[in-house]
Amino acid sequence: MISLKNILGRTFFRFRYLIILSSVLIFVILGIVLYNVYENAKTAYQVPSRYITTEVAILLCMFLLGLLIFFYERKIARTLKRRVAEKENYLTSVLQYSVDAIILINNENRLLVWNKGAELIFGYTEKEMVGNTFHCLIPPEIDAEKELETIKQQVLRDGFIRNHRVQRITKDGRRITVDLSRTLVRDEHGEPIGSVAIIKDVTEEIEFEQRMYNTEKLASIGTLAAGVAHEINNPLAIILGFTDLLKERFPEGSPELEDLKIIEENAENAKRTVENLLGFARVTEGDVESVDVRQSLETVLKIVERTLVTENITLVKEIADDLPHIRGVAREFQQVIFNLINNAIAAMKGTGGTLTISAWVESGRLCVRVTDTGVGIPDRIKRRVFDPFFTTKKVGEGTGLGLSLCYGIIKKYGGTIDFYSSSAEDDPSEPSGTSFTVTTLIDSDDEPQNRSEQ
């Protein structure tokens, strides 16, 4: 509720300089008038006492009025200073204790302000970051200079950048996805002096969306697979059966026998496609075993060894000697690695390159990475790589179920599979290639401490 006192106070605050000026003018005018009266009285050889008393009274009143204005001005100044301090404290609290990172950057991309939210997200303290750049937050495979300069130029050009999702790395080495918004800051002359960045960690949000999306895919594929099994497998069984009977009627090397072999081969391909589809949707129970990862990797590499030589691909193995076992099915784990290696070979087909197989333990989980120097995956299709039936291969070269099958198997045993890829289509200046990383749970009966006791 607005009181009369507040109204008068605000009115006086707004017009205080006018009041002071008016008081001074009144004082000067009264002084001139009294001086004239006094001179006239002197001319008459007599100074009436009432004139002197009046002059002293007026001067005293003006003095008191001046003191009142002075002290009231001091009170207004203190009130204003207190309110400014309160607002500064409020803004400082909002800045420092926001759960999102609020960062002030100068024109050289150096940090001037690093709040508590930034510390919570990235793990670095204000003392560690103020005066430095963002380089320590950018993953090593990304060109930090180029990315920071691109963001800076867009902010200078448009005045802001909004909802820009990028990969960042925390102090403890975790990779996170952040939502970056950045606004240009100008001085009183309109010249850019820096920018303010607001950063939000959206890693969990993206993972949740991806899980929901993949759950829907699994449900739809499961429904489709049930119908496919009955509608296709039965006719395929009849085709294969009669083909086998017909093959017995023709001698080896005859054109008819060769035609029947082609029919049989393609029918078997169709049957394998259906089996892969069912394997993607089916959740096995009771078949979980302890998988020797190192032995499984060696088995798969032995199978593809000849193909690597034929395609002029150099194999680099970075496999730790003391890898623990994982929970799963050896055949399915080998199928995952085999599919990833096949895709890597296809990406380097005709040009050759380097295939790197890495395996290590990190944060209580076992990680296997398959890296190639092939053509890479363009940004426009990265969201679809795990979609069933999606493939970039030519007709007859792939079914589009390989990565979908890998995803289903790894998720079934509580693991994760993700990738990083760079392609000439998106960045011609950077080397192309793709890395798929499979992370799985370690067998609780084969943890390092247990193995050391055996």
Residue 447 has pLDDT above 70, yes or no: no
Looking at residue 392, what is its pLDDT? 61
CA distances from 115 to 26, 167, 204, 210, 321 (A): 55, 20, 22, 30, 43
Sequence ranges of the domains in the chain = 4-96, 98-201, 203-282, 288-453
**Three-state DSSP class for 101?**
strand
The mean-pLDDT minimum among 210-214, 333-337, 378-382, 437-441 falls in 210-214
In DSSP terms, which residues pair with 440 in a beta bridge? 366
Token pair, residue 173, equals 């080495």
* Between 2 and 202, residue with greater pLDDT: 202
Token pair, residue 237, equals 């069984």
How far apart (Å, rounded) are the C-alpha atoms in residues 290 and 284?
Answer: 15
**Mean pLDDT across the stretch 385-399?**
59
Phi, psi of 380 (to 5 degrees): -65, -20
> Would you put residue 180 in left (φ > 0), alpha (ψ -120 to 50) or beta?
beta
pLDDT band, residue 95 (cuts 50/70/90): low
* Between 451 and 21, residue with greater pLDDT: 21
CA 375: distance to chain centroid?
25
How far apart (Å, rounded) are the C-alpha atoms in residues 186 and 80?
Answer: 26
* Between 399 and 411, residue with greater pLDDT: 411
Residue 192 has pLDDT above 80, yes or no: yes
Residue 12 has pLDDT above 60, yes or no: no
How far apart (Å, rounded) are the C-alpha atoms in residues 401 and 106?
Answer: 49
Looking at residue 217, what is its pLDDT? 64
* Between 167 and 285, residue with greater pLDDT: 167
**pLDDT tens across 135-148, in order?**
888 888 788 888 88
Please provide the DSSP assignment of 176-220 as one string: EEEEEEEEEEE-TTS-EEEEEEEEEE-HHHHHHHHHHHHHHHHHH
pLDDT band, residue 92 (cuts 50/70/90): low
DSSP structure class, residue 442: B
Averaged pLDDT of the chain: 77
Looking at residue 269, what is its pLDDT? 77
How far apart (Å, rounded) are the C-alpha atoms in residues 263 and 270?
Answer: 11
**Domains 203-282 and 288-453 alike in fold:** no
Record: fold of 98-201: Beta-Lactamase (3.30.450)
E-assigned strand segments in 333-379: 353-362, 365-372
How far apart (Å, rounded) are the C-alpha atoms in residues 147 and 182?
Answer: 14
**pLDDT tens across 59-80, in order?**
666 666 666 767 777 777 777 7
Looking at residue 368, what is its pLDDT? 94
Residue 5 has pLDDT above 60, yes or no: no
**pLDDT tens across 247-286, in order?**
888 888 888 888 888 888 888 877 776 776 665 555 444 4
**Mean pLDDT across the stretch 181-205?**
87
Phi, psi of 154 (to 5 degrees): -65, -40
Residue 294 has pLDDT above 70, yes or no: yes
Angle at alpha carbon of residue 411, lines to 282 and 373, rounded to 5°: 115
**Mean pLDDT across the stretch 378-393?**
71
The mean-pLDDT minimum among 90-104, 110-124, 183-197, 423-437 falls in 90-104
Record: fold of 203-282: Helix Hairpins (1.10.287)
Q: Which CATH architecture has domain 288-453?
A: 2-Layer Sandwich (3.30)
In DSSP terms, which residues pair with 174 in a beta bridge? none
Which residues are CB-neighbours of 125 under 8 A, at least 6 positions away?
Answer: 114, 119
Closest CA to 422 of 167, 134, 182: 167
Closest CA to 26 of 79, 68, 70, 63: 63
**pLDDT tens across 98-134, in order?**
778 888 888 888 888 888 888 888 989 888 888 888 8
Token pair, residue 297, equals 């990797």
How far apart (Å, rounded) are the C-alpha atoms in residues 174 and 160?
Answer: 28
Looking at residue 120, what is its pLDDT? 87
Looking at residue 285, what is its pLDDT? 46
Looking at residue 96, what is its pLDDT? 67
**pLDDT tens across 200-246, in order?**
998 888 877 776 766 666 666 666 666 666 677 778 888 888 888 88
* Between 76 and 410, residue with greater pLDDT: 410
How far apart (Å, rounded) are the C-alpha atoms in residues 108 and 157?
Answer: 16
Phi, psi of 417 (to 5 degrees): -140, 125
In DSSP terms, which residues pair with 177 in a beta bridge? 167
Residue 31 has pLDDT above 70, yes or no: no
